[in-house]
Amino acid sequence: MASFDRRSALLALAALPLATGAFAADDPILLRDLYNKDLSFSPLAEGLQGQRIRVEGFMAPPLRAESRFFVLTRRPMAVCPFCNSASDWPDDIVAIYAKRVVKVIAFNIPIVVSGALELGTHKDPELGFVSRVRLSDAEYQRV
């Protein structure tokens, strides 16, 4: 009989909505649910890679005007949380690549973003921004 520790049970429970089809595409994902404690990607994130998901958070001030890029944060931030490398990537932000030029929303107003989930280290060729998690072809609105 195989041992079943608490961590294994939690991982199994996290993957259960995917296995049973219980996860609804319009259910918002929490940023913390995309990662394991060691900052590897969670079974939920890996199971949703390439699919459109929704994430709630706050728009960090964009890097520049007339851009299709911004950073979604778990809590309001008056300054964009820049990262120098993937090893510095925090588990509470997501890079957003919008369908259209971003209309800035104040950093303290909650928004929901939907887009295709992309995982893995990526350096934006134009901005030099390094990300581990991105939503592409994204749309956003106030909550």
Residue 110 lies in a domain: yes
Residue 60 lies in a domain: yes
Residue 119 lies in a domain: yes
**pTM beyond 0.85, yes or no:** no
Closest CA to 49 of 122, 140, 115: 115
Res. 44: pLDDT tops 80: yes
Residue 109 lies in a domain: yes
The per-residue pLDDT of the chain, averaged, comes to 81
Rounded Cα distance, 122 and 141, in Å: 25
Residue 20 lies in a domain: no
Residue 126: give the domain boundaries.
25-142
Residue 117 lies in a domain: yes
74 CB-near residues (< 8 Å, 6+ apart):
31, 32, 57, 58, 92, 93
At 61, the pLDDT band (50, 70, 90 cuts) reads confident
Residue 11 lies in a domain: no
Residue 56 lies in a domain: yes
Number of structural domains found in the chain: 1
Task: Identify the CATH number of the domain in which residue 69 sits.
Answer: 2.40.50.870
Res. 81: pLDDT tops 60: no
Q: Please give the average per-residue pLDDT across 82-88, as a whole number.
A: 50
